Amino acid sequence: MILAFIGTAGSGKTTLSGAFGRYLKENGYSVGYVNLDTGVRDLPYSPDIDVRDDVTSWKIMEKGYGPNGAIVESYDRLLPRVNVYVSEITKLAEEREYIIIDTPGQMETFLFHEFGVKLMDGLPNPLAVYLFSPDILKKPEDFCFVRFFSLMIDLRLGTTTVPALSKIDTVENLERYRRFLDDIDYLTSRLKLEPSTQGLLAYRMCSALPELAPPTRVLYLSAVTGEGFDELETLAYEHHCTCGDLT
Ligand SMILES: Nc1nc2c(ncn2[C@@H]2O[C@H](COP(=O)(O)OP(=O)(O)OP(=O)(O)O)[C@@H](O)[C@H]2O)c(=O)[nH]1
Ligand SMILES: [Mg+2]
């Protein structure tokens, strides 16, 4: 089973990769780790496959690139080897029960660079977990945004994508988040009350959501307490067995 954690900078991908991997190992599974972040210095796990063996963004920065330019350049340099990575990860997936892929902090270098798209396209039946942290969810429109962003990742990478709220140990009122994320009818009814142009847009988008996508479950995770790990494990298993039907 191949799981790829995808999300904006600081959403918790690397911490979750380490913590969920440890959880799986404690439960008797064999786990392989893949690091795709050319800019990370320290990892809470030992990667079996690591792009930094080929390219690091900090070495490129020594040649005068700025941080963002260096990251893009690092994936330009990795692109000719994308098929090698696909083969290595696929081979590792034959040997281990779970493969955990930790993706770059700069999400755009994964979603908008050919390296990320080709890599995901080449892997056998991966499941993408789109992580977003509670601090980006303030207005009802934000909940609509993350639901659609998850679909956008699915569309872009051609990979079944499950939305996951990360760092739930930091929220006091998880029920409020759950209500907005689990119950699309509730979210849509709240958006109907929003007077702004964006509120109307979000209302129309969320009204169409049931027709556009199957009612995928949302995960609620904490890499600190391990909450939600059992559900992530179940979901990964269901994905593996049913090829993408996660209703
Ligand atoms: N409280 C809490 N903090 C978390 C959790 N997961 C990650 N963090 C913290 O969030 C910060 C970012 O975590 P990372 O795991 O580095 O996030 P990332 O998405 O890999 O970050 P980049 O790769 O740099 O984009 C760190 O300070 C973590 O300790 C969590 O479940 N709960
Ligand atoms: Mg990271």
CATH code at position 116 = 3.40.50.300
Quick one: tokens of 190?
A: 């709240």
Residue range of the domain that includes 13: 2-170+219-238
Domain assignment present for residue 227? The answer is yes
Residues with CB under 6 A from ligand 1: 7, 9-15, 37, 105, 166-167, 169-170, 222-224
Quick one: tokens of 237?
A: 């298993």
Domain assignment present for residue 84? The answer is yes
φ and ψ at 27, to 5 degrees? -95, 15
pLDDT tens profile 152-205: 999 999 999 999 999 999 999 999 999 999 999 999 999 999 888 998 999 999
Q: Which of 136, 101, 137 is nearest to 119 (CA)?
A: 101
Location of structure tokens 């998880």: 174
The residues, any chain, with a CB within 8 Å of residue 118's CB and separated by 6 or more, are 79, 82, 83, 86
pLDDT tens profile 199-229: 899 999 999 998 888 778 899 999 999 999 9
Q: How many whole angstroms from 33 Cα to the centroid of ligand 2?
A: 13
User: How far is the C-alpha of 154 from the C-alpha of 150, rounded, in Å?
Assistant: 6
Residue 118: which H helix or E strand, with range?
A: helix 114-122
Q: How many whole angstroms from 166 Cα to the centroid of ligand 1?
A: 9
Contact status, residue 102 vs residue 37, Cβ threshold 8 Å: yes
The pTM score is 0.95
What value, to the nearest 5°, has the Cα angle with vertex 23 and ends 19 and 24? 120
pLDDT of residue 228: 98
Q: How many whole angstroms from 226 Cα to the centroid of ligand 1?
A: 14
Provide the number of structural domains found in the chain: 1
Map residue 224 onto helix, strand or coil. Answer: coil
Pairing of strands 127-132, 161-165: parallel
Counting ligand 1 atoms within 8 A of each CB, the residue from 5, 8, 13, 15 with the most, and so the one to mutate, is 15
Domain assignment present for residue 191? The answer is no
